[in-house]
Amino acid sequence: MVAGTQPFDISAKTHDPRAGLRGDYAHMDADYTVAQDMSRYDAAMQDRWQRLLARQMRLLPGRACRAFIEAVTMLEMRRGIPSFAEVNAALAARTGWTLVGVPGLLPDAVFFAHLADRRFPVTVWLREEHEFDYIVEPDLFHDFFGHVPMLFTPVYADYLQRYGQGGLKAATLSGLDWLARLYWYTIEFGLLREDGGVRAYGAGILSSPKELVYAVESGVPVRLPFDVLEVMRTPYLIDDVQSQYFVLESFEQLLADTAPDFAPLYARLSAEARAAVKA
Ligand code: PHE
Ligand code: FE
């Protein structure tokens, strides 16, 4: 799940019966959550889930970070499309997070409020067969396989809550354009130094067969040391593999480096952007 800073017009979405659960914003609660109805996942969807999972699992060794591999193994997703209620029991015990079902992308403020309360929104519908290799919009596979395992790591879980709180604050400081880049280059496309190499912890990398290999092994992209200001200065692509990635030394570094007040950073970045327009 990513905040609604992406080019999808939520208000334009209507329920399409052919798409099943997809984008059904008509029957959600005030906080944009929907129940996960397990009976709506038919045999074709279960089969697609298994194939998405098998393809991605094979690519994890040597490419995904240790915390992700451990949690994925523990979650036993091979038993079928996971029930959020079942996972929530284990997740609450470990880090106090709760998964909530959502119809798709959320408005920024709604998304941030969920994260600030340690609720992670997971899209309830699975991509169609023609989207098997690539999907721009987050679906159940991206949200669950990519994001949920990392929620079992306490320091990462704390960071994500602080990100949500920081989002609510950034909205009052015209800081969302800058803060969105931090989400993008950490939660979605973050790399971590581990065992003398780089490993992925970002969900956008971990849920994509192409980008998992590319981000970790290709000589093409630039891999820079994680730096909050540099991250906030770096625009991103939403529909192709990234041309740069930022590499953490540890999740403790992520928490420590993002702890200072971002208000002065937002002011500085906004001033830089204004100066660039004038130049
Ligand atoms: N330190 C940030 C602020 O003052 C809050 C934040 C923490 C944002 C962690 C993102 C991640 O706004
Ligand atoms: Fe995501």
pLDDT of residue 11 exceeding 60: no
Residue 137 and residue 195: Cα distance in Å, rounded? 32
pLDDT of residue 18 exceeding 60: no
If one residue of 169, 177, 232 were mutated to test the ligand 1 pocket, choosing by the most ligand atoms within 8 A of its CB, it would be 169
User: How high does pLDDT run on average in the chain?
Assistant: 92
Tokens of 50: 């298994």
CB crowding 200-229: b at 16 or more within 10 Å, else e: bbbbbbbbbeebbebbbeeeebeeeebebe
Most confident of 2-11, 21-30, 114-123, 235-244: 114-123
Ligand nearest to the CA of 181: 1
Tokens of 40: 């709506």
pLDDT of residue 250 exceeding 50: yes
pLDDT of residue 3 exceeding 50: no
pLDDT tens track for 158-205: 999 999 999 999 999 999 999 999 999 999 999 999 999 999 999 999
From the CA of 224, how far away is ligand 1's center (Å)? 21
- Count the helix, strand and coil residues of the chain and give each as a percent rounded to the nearest 5: 55, 10, 35
Residue 11 and residue 9: Cα distance in Å, rounded? 5
Protein residue whose Cα sits closest to atom 4 of ligand 1: 261
Ligand nearest to the CA of 190: 2
From the CA of 163, how far away is ligand 1's center (Å)? 6
Closest ligand 1 atom to 175 CA: 12
pLDDT of residue 19 exceeding 90: no
String of DSSP letters for 140-162: HIIIIIIIGGGGGSHHHHHHHHH
The pLDDT > 90 percentage for the chain reads: 84
Residues in contact with 151: Cβ distance below 8 Å, sequence separation at least 6, in sequence order: 91, 95, 97, 120, 157, 160
Averaged pLDDT for residues 127-131:
95
Residue that has been written with the tokens 């991509």 in this structure: 127
Report yes or no on whether pTM surpasses 0.75: yes
Averaged pLDDT for residues 216-232:
98
Per-residue confidence (pLDDT) for residue 17, from 0 to 100: 42
Per-residue confidence (pLDDT) for residue 278, from 0 to 100: 86
If one residue of 115, 118, 165, 176 were mutated to test the ligand 1 pocket, choosing by the most ligand atoms within 8 A of its CB, it would be 165
Residue 277 and residue 260: Cα distance in Å, rounded? 28
Give catalytic residues, as residue numbers: 142, 147, 188, 207
Greater model confidence, 278 or 128: 128
Q: Tell me which residues have their CB closer than 6 angstroms to ligand 1.
A: 162-163, 166, 169-170, 182, 258-262
Categorize the per-residue pLDDT at 136 as very low, low, confident or very high, splitting at 50, 70 and 90. Answer: confident
Indicate the SS3 state at residue 233: coil
Ligand nearest to the CA of 207: 2
If one residue of 162, 187, 246, 265 were mutated to test the ligand 1 pocket, choosing by the most ligand atoms within 8 A of its CB, it would be 162
From the CA of 126, how far away is ligand 1's center (Å)? 32
Residue 202 and residue 130: Cα distance in Å, rounded? 24
Per-residue confidence (pLDDT) for residue 21, from 0 to 100: 59
Categorize the per-residue pLDDT at 140 as very low, low, confident or very high, splitting at 50, 70 and 90. Answer: very high
Per-residue confidence (pLDDT) for residue 238, from 0 to 100: 86
Categorize the per-residue pLDDT at 91 as very low, low, confident or very high, splitting at 50, 70 and 90. Answer: very high
Averaged pLDDT for residues 50-74:
97
Residues in contact with 43: Cβ distance below 8 Å, sequence separation at least 6, in sequence order: none
